[in-house]
């Protein structure tokens, strides 16, 4: 509304006009707050659904765990790979053996010795 029209209003009309302006602002504020709350709720629900789906995917493919073993006489990394490796998660035995070597700080073709402690990874569908 232009300033000339406002100057021509009586006090009663001016108060009424200002009340209407305040009412509209409050309605807009309530609408904005409600919209933001609805948007936040949708975002939280979406995030929860994505997280739940990710957890289910991990459970279906198995969870990665680590266990400690004591090397027995005659054990080799290839035999340990046969025992603990999951072919769904490693492309070949060499990839698994490389991870075991890296985790246990074994260099090159270092031989295993009886009584040596190693940490080896394995996969399980059970959640511990």
pLDDT per residue over 76-104, tens digit each? 999 999 999 988 888 899 999 999 999 99
Which alpha helices (DSSP H) does 1-128 contain, by range? 3-8, 11-61, 77-84, 93-103
What is residue 55's predicted lDDT score, i.e. its pLDDT?
A: 61
pTM above 0.75, yes or no: no
- β-strand partners of 69: 118
**What pLDDT shows up at residue 86?**
87
Closest CA to 120 of 105, 99, 90: 99
């Amino acid at each position: 509304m232009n300033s000339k029209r406002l100057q021509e209003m009586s006090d009663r009309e001016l108060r009424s006009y200002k009340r209407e302006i305040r009412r509209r602002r409050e309605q807009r504020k309530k609408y904005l707050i409600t919209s933001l709350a609805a948007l936040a709720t949708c975002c939280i629900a979406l995030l929860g659904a994505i997280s739940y789906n990710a957890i289910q995917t991990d459970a279906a493919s198995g969870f990665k765990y680590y266990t400690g073993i004591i090397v027995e006489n005659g054990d080799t990394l290839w035999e340990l790979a046969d025992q603990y490796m999951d072919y769904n998660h490693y492309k070949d035995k060499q990839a698994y053996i490389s991870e075991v070597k890296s985790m246990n700080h074994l260099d090159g073709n270092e031989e295993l010795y009886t009584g040596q402690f190693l940490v080896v990874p394995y996969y399980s569908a059970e959640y511990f």
